[in-house]
Structure 1
Amino acid sequence: MGFTSSHFTGAVTSGELAHRELQSRPDQWWAGLGHRCIHTTWSSRGSISLEGLGLQIVREPQEASFILAHGTEALSVPSDGGRIEVIEQSLEQLFDLLERCAALLEPPPMVVANPDMVTTSGAELIPMPGTLAKKYADLNPKCQVRLCGKPDPIIYNACKDALGLHPSEVLAVGDSLEHDIAGAAAAGIDSLFIAGGIHQKEVCKGNTGSVDMDALEALSRQHQAVPTYVVPELRW
């Protein structure tokens, strides 16, 4: 993308944090998850390895002690010989699976390794695991959902620890009001909102590249997330 390694102190990802918490089981909640999981993953974007976590992949809700949401395109399933295969699933099929999980007397908790709702692929918006998390939480008040990325404080705390800076010295940059901007505000960090990202059609004026501030104000109220600064796009 045109950056060099000198531009970075480090990198922290929600997937990395999910892997770390599942491996170390740092508190009673994580320790109580068990090891039998339903795993939603990717197909075209690349499947996710669970090596080293000691997990047993299961397919049926009644067999699962928790759900691990990495992607929205496929399921990891056990096959003959102990191997794990990936089978493609539509979003509707995954929603159906979540409905079956939520209908259990004790629904398995969900760990979300990427809480984004959508991401951009050219002009197309691709559903992300945050979509599964919202669906699951809405199905049943007993459905527990643990986010390992924005807007949860876990990701901001990890970044602040890596930087060794006071929150007043940090700027969070992102294009999601619900995740990037709301999460930064909750963490006490200033934010730079990129209007030409996932909210482009809602807050940008046609193809001019300018921001409709009235539309942005209304959308910010809707998401209860007000950015400190706004630019149409990020240029380096």
Structure 2
Amino acid sequence: MMAAPNPNSFQNLNGIRSLAQTHQFKVWLLDQFGVLHDGKQPYPGAISTLKQLSNHGAKMVIISNSSRRASTTFDKLKALGFDTSLFLGAITSGELTHQSLLTREDDWFASLGTSCIHITWADRGAISLQGLDLQVVENVDDAHFILAHGTEALGLPSGASLPMELEDLDKILELCASRKIPMLVANPDFVTVEATSLRVMPGTLAAKYEKLGGEVKWMGKPNKIIYKSAIDMAGVEASDCIAVGDSLHHDIKGANTAGIQSAFITSGIHANDLDLGSFGEVANSSSVQDLASRYGAYPTYVLPSFTW
């Protein structure tokens, strides 16, 4: 495992070309939202950069806090014009959640129970629980746990979903907290980029639940388990990898925890924090340093965007 990162030692890069040409890293662990695309379209240069990276012998794995299964990640990328054959595979927090609920090998999951309050998506499409042998309930008194896949709707026993405002979901969480029902959050992100704005994600609900005194099981980044899964998929050591992401709290702090070098993309969710007015604008180094210190997350490299 590499030495603890120095908060003052990150290197500024205009693109990844110089880093790729060193062949220092065999495997690149790539976040998707905020790095490759904004949820609606690819970022300028992202598709060609992946091809260049592949041409230089790098292996790539998507590592994402998406609450959806890994297979749907590639469906999304294909629809946006990415060549998914360039990737070894994808690891998502949603996939880890699904597999953990399926196998129940972990003691925490083994004791979880099978009836849940399901918080899911509406506009983005509700997430299926098929194959998990779970019973979705609407009454808090009937629930063993909360399963948080989204922030827009309450799952119904029929498999449909009832759209809800965040304030209404908060009230349900208050009832759950009073009954000390644990929460399983399948997407730890607080927000994500969506076109030119930010959207509230399940991690925000989970943080609120902890403030209410509730117990939360966080799946995905910054937990090092998701990095270990990606490293195992690639069949390499942590020192052979670099993680690329736009979230200091999730991507960069997670890489620090896993002993992986990292590249911080400043044009993602922290663009406003860094006072960036346009895509590809170079962030002030002292501002990046201050922000990294605030999060306790220290990148090895800093780039305006994922470009060659």
**TM-score over 0.5 for the alignment?**
yes
Is 1:87 matched with 2:162? yes
The equivalent residue for 1:224 is: 296
Please state whether the residue corresponding to 2:156 is helix, strand or coil.
strand
Please state whether the residue corresponding to 2:188 is helix, strand or coil.
coil
Map 1:6-155 → 2, pairs under 5 A: 6-78=85-157, 83-104=158-179, 107-140=180-213, 143-155=214-226
Q: 1:214 aligns with which of 256, 276, 286?
A: 286
> Contact 1:195–1:204 (CA<8 Å) still a contact in 2?
no
Superimposed CA distance per residue, residues 24-77 of structure 1 (whole angstroms, 9 cap, x where no aligned partner): 001221110000100000011111000010101111222111110000000101
Cα distance in structure 1, aligned partners of 2:81 and 2:304:
20
Please state whether the residue corresponding to 1:49 is helix, strand or coil.
coil
Cα distance in structure 2, aligned partners of 1:194 and 1:228:
11
Please state whether the residue corresponding to 1:201 is helix, strand or coil.
coil
Superimposed CA distance per residue, residues 139-179 of structure 1 (whole angstroms, 9 cap, x where no aligned partner): 11xx2211121011221111011011111111111110110
Cα distance in structure 2, aligned partners of 1:93 and 1:235:
41
The alignment covers a number of residue pairs equal to 228
Cα distance in structure 2, aligned partners of 1:4 and 1:85:
33
> Contact 1:204–1:232 (CA<8 Å) still a contact in 2?
no
> Contact 1:205–1:212 (CA<8 Å) still a contact in 2?
no
Structure 2, unmatched stretches of 5+, are: 1-79
Cα distance in structure 2, aligned partners of 1:84 and 1:2:
31
Please state whether the residue corresponding to 2:130 is helix, strand or coil.
coil
Please state whether the residue corresponding to 1:217 is helix, strand or coil.
helix
Q: TM-score, normalised by structure 1?
A: 0.93
Map 1:162-177 → 2, pairs under 5 A: 162-177=233-248
Please state whether the residue corresponding to 1:226 is helix, strand or coil.
coil
Cα distance in structure 1, aligned partners of 2:92 and 2:276:
32
> Contact 1:77–1:84 (CA<8 Å) still a contact in 2?
yes
User: Could you tell me which amino acid in structure 2 is paired with residue 157 of structure 1?
Assistant: K
> Contact 1:196–1:204 (CA<8 Å) still a contact in 2?
no
Cα distance in structure 2, aligned partners of 1:154 and 1:89:
32
Structure 1, unmatched stretches of 5+, are: none
Structure 1 moving runs of 4+ over 6 Å? none
The alpha-carbon deviation at position 204 of structure 1 amounts to 4.4
The alpha-carbon deviation at position 205 of structure 1 amounts to 3.9
Name the CA shift for 1:212/1:204 in 2 (closer, same or farther; >3 Å).
farther
Superimposed CA distance per residue, residues 171-223 of structure 1 (whole angstroms, 9 cap, x where no aligned partner): 11111011001011000001110100000011144337011212111111111
Q: TM-score, normalised by structure 2?
A: 0.72
> Comparing both chains, which one has the higher relative contact order based on Cα–Cα distances under 8 Å and sequence gaps of 6 or more?
2
> Contact 2:126–2:160 (CA<8 Å) still a contact in 1?
no
The alpha-carbon deviation at position 6 of structure 1 amounts to 3.6
> Contact 1:14–1:155 (CA<8 Å) still a contact in 2?
yes
> Contact 1:113–1:147 (CA<8 Å) still a contact in 2?
yes
* Root-mean-square deviation over aligned CA pairs: 1.3
Q: Identical aligned pairs, as a percentage?
A: 49
Cα distance in structure 2, aligned partners of 1:179 and 1:92:
25
The equivalent residue for 2:256 is: 185
Cα distance in structure 1, aligned partners of 2:277 and 2:97:
39
